[in-house]
């Protein structure tokens, strides 16, 4: 009956992904069916940790995060957890041999979110690595399916893609982060006086990440390439919309891509993939 518990746990991670991110779950569905469950498992784990630091304001978030961290360690040690999100995550970690140091770096960034509200360049790089780049690297373990040579080759691009996604999220969520959570991730940026020069500098950095990531997307195995390419194109479209917006607009509204535009992205990506012109 153990397989039923495995299946139920994986299903919990899938539902978590679909409830929290329609865009990300849509991209996962474009991956080969063999890759979908482990990516859901990673997203579910990451999502729950993120919820602790971003949402549970009426509770002791430091205690909750430490408990979740310890429960993760126990799940990895026992190869079992009664928390279905952690159980499905540990299944994926063990199946694909994911480096535990990536998980440690992720928790360090989540801990930074508990009380750190401003970042210097070094802290910013550390936060981006732990909160986003390591997630890209966890996914890369899945996409490479134990091919260590391919993993090493694509590692910089996977980190760049994770960083690009996170920085776009920062720009999209400026209003909530600054006004509700009192967080300013970008070093040297004062959102009380957010200028076009500041915005241009951030966007140039993000542009470099996207360029580095694109080269890696093209070299992904076929099982992963199309789904990752669609996610890349979605975030690139969001980034381009942000670039067209005035600095003040980011502090007034959350920039979004409408559903019909998302559908067009998938359709165009499908045509380009069919003709092998990604």
DSSP string, 233-253: HHHHHHHHHHHHS-HHHHTT-
Task: Say what the pLDDT of residue 213 is.
Answer: 97
CA 248 → CA 174, 196, 198, 253, distances in Å? 10, 9, 12, 9
Of 178, 185, 65, 182, nearest to 127 (Cα)? 185
Could you give phi then psi for residue 189, rounded to 5 degrees? Answer: -105, 130
Structure tokens belonging to residue 125 = 């790089």
What are the backbone dihedrals phi and psi of residue 29, each rounded to the nearest 5 degrees, phi first? -65, -15
- pLDDT band with cut points at 50, 70 and 90 for residue 23: confident
Look at residue 275 and tell me whether its pLDDT is greater than 90: no
**Closest-CA residue to 254 (of 183, 182, 192, 171):** 171
Q: Which one-letter DSSP state was computed for residue 193? A: G
For residue 270, pLDDT beyond 70: no
- Cα separation, 46 vs 136, in Å, equals 11
> Cα Rg for the chain, rounded, in angstroms?
19
pLDDT in tens, 70-103: 999 999 999 999 999 999 999 999 999 999 999 9
Question: So what's the pLDDT on residue 276?
Answer: 62
Torsion of CA 176, 238, 32, 226, to 10 degrees: -160
> 152-196, pLDDT tens digit by residue?
999 999 999 999 999 999 999 988 888 788 888 999 898 888 999
Residue 278: per-residue pLDDT: 64
Tell me the two tokens of residue 269: 């990506």
Q: Give Cα 123 distance to the centre of its chain.
A: 19
Tell me the DSSP string of 57-113.
Answer: TTS-HHHHHHHHHHHHHHHHHHT--SSHHHHHHHHHHHHHT--HHHHHHHHHHHHHH
pLDDT band at 110 (very low <50, low <70, confident <90, very high): very high
Per-residue pLDDT band at 273 (split at 50, 70, 90): low
Query: Under a CB-based contact definition with an 8 Å cutoff, are residues 71 and 86 in contact?
Result: yes
The pLDDT tens digits for 201-233 are 999 999 999 999 999 999 999 999 999 999 999
**Does the pLDDT value for residue 114 go beyond 70?**
yes
Average pLDDT value for residue range 247-259: 85
pLDDT for 116 equals 83
Q: Indicate the class that CATH gives domain 2-274.
A: mainly alpha
- Residue 68 pLDDT > 60: yes
Alpha-helical segments (H) within the chain: 2-20, 22-28, 33-54, 61-78, 84-96, 100-115, 121-128, 134-144, 148-172, 174-175, 196-217, 222-244, 247-250, 259-274
Task: Supply the pLDDT for residue 31.
Answer: 95
Q: Note every long-range contact of 180-184, with CB atoms under 8 Å and residues 24 or more positions apart, other chains counting.
A: 181/54, 181/117, 182/117, 183/113, 183/116, 183/117, 183/118, 184/117, 184/118, 184/119
CA–chain centroid gap for 163, Å, is: 8
Going by C-alpha positions, the residue among 167, 139, 152 that lies closest to residue 225 is 139
The pLDDT, as a whole number, for residue 151 is 97
What are 127-156's pLDDT values in tens digits?
999 999 999 999 999 999 989 999 999 999
Enumerate residues 6+ apart whose C-beta is below 8 A from 101.
Answer: none
Mean pLDDT of 29-47: 97
Domain map (residue ranges) of the chain? 2-274
């Amino acid at each position: 009956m153990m397989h039923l518990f495995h299946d139920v746990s994986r299903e919990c991670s899938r539902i978590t992904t679909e409830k929290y991110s329609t865009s990300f779950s849509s991209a996962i569905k474009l991956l080969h069916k063999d890759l979908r469950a482990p990516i859901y498992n990673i997203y579910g784990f990451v999502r729950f940790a993120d919820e602790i630091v971003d949402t549970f304001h009426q509770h002791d978030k430091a205690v909750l995060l430490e408990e979740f961290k310890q429960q993760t360690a126990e799940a990895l040690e026992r190869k079992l957890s009664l928390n279905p999100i952690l159980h499905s995550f540990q299944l994926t970690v063990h199946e694909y041999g994911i480096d535990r140091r990536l998980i440690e770096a992720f928790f360090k960034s989540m801990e930074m979110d508990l009380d750190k509200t401003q970042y210097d360049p070094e802290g910013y790089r550390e936060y981006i690595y732990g909160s986003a780049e390591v997630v890209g690297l966890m996914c890369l373990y899945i996409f490479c399916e134990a091919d260590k040579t391919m993993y090493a080759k694509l590692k910089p691009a996977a980190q760049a893609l994770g960083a690009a996604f996170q920085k776009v999220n920062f720009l999209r969520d400026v209003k909530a982060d600054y006004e509700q959570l009192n967080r300013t991730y970008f070093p040297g940026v004062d959102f009380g006086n957010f200028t076009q020069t500041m915005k241009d500098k951030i966007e140039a950095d993000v542009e470099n990440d996207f360029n580095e990531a694109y080269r890696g997307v093209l070299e992904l195995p076929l099982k992963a390439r199309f789904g990752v390419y669609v996610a890349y194109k979605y975030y690139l479209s969001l980034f381009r919309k942000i670039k067209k917006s005035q600095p003040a607009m980011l502090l007034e509204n959350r920039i979004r891509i409408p559903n019909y535009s998302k559908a067009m992205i998938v359709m165009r990506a499908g045509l380009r993939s069919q003709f092998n012109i990604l």
